[in-house]
Chains A and B, each alone.
Chain A
Amino acid sequence: MTTLRYPEVRDRARLLEVARLGVDVDEPREYLTELVEEVAARMGTPLAMVTGLLSDAQVFLAGRGPVPEWVTEVGGTPIEWAFCGPLLRSEEARYVNDFTADAEFQDNPLVTRDGVRSYIGAPVISSRGLVLGSVCGLDLCPREFDAAHLQLVQDLADETARRIESHAFPDEYA
Chain B
Amino acid sequence: MARIENYGHELPTEQDAVKALADLVGPQMAEGLWSLAVQALGMRRPVVDPAALRRVAEHVMEVGELSRVAGRSLKVRIITYEALARTVSS
Check: B72 CB closer than 8 A to any chain A CB.
Answer: yes
Q: Are A55 and B83 in contact (CB under 8 A)?
A: no
Stretch at the interface among A13-21, A40-48, A97-105, A137-145: A13-21
Nearest Cβ distance between residue A128 and chain B, in whole angstroms? 15
Contact-residue size bin, chain B (C-beta under 8 Å from the other chain):
10 to 19
Q: Are B66 and A56 in contact (CB under 8 A)?
A: no
Return chain A residues, CB-CB under 8 Å to B79: 73-75
- Give the dominant DSSP class at A's interface: mixed
Nearest Cβ distance between residue B37 and chain A, in whole angstroms? 15
Instruction: Compute how far the CA of A58 lies from the CA of B86 in the bound complex, rounded to whole angstroms.
Output: 21
What 0/1 readout, one digit per residue, does chain A (111-151) give for beta carbons within 8 Å of chain B? Answer: 00000000000000000000000000000000000000000
Instruction: Compute how far the CA of A76 lies from the CA of B73 in the bound complex, rounded to whole angstroms.
Output: 9
Tell me how many residues of A have a C-beta within 8 Å of chain B: 23
Contact of B80 among A25, A54, A78 (CB under 8 A): A78
What 0/1 readout, one digit per residue, does chain B (50-85) give for beta carbons within 8 Å of chain A? Answer: 000000000000100110111011111101100110
Given contacts A16-B65, A24-B68, A75-B76, 17 further A-B contacts (CB under 8 A): A12-B66, A16-B62, A19-B69, A54-B72, A55-B66, A55-B70, A56-B70, A56-B74, A57-B72, A57-B76, A59-B72, A70-B80, A73-B79, A73-B83, A75-B79, A76-B80, A79-B73
13 A-B pairs within 8 Å (CB atoms) are namely A16-B66, A18-B69, A24-B72, A24-B73, A25-B72, A26-B72, A55-B66, A55-B69, A56-B74, A57-B72, A57-B77, A70-B83, A70-B87
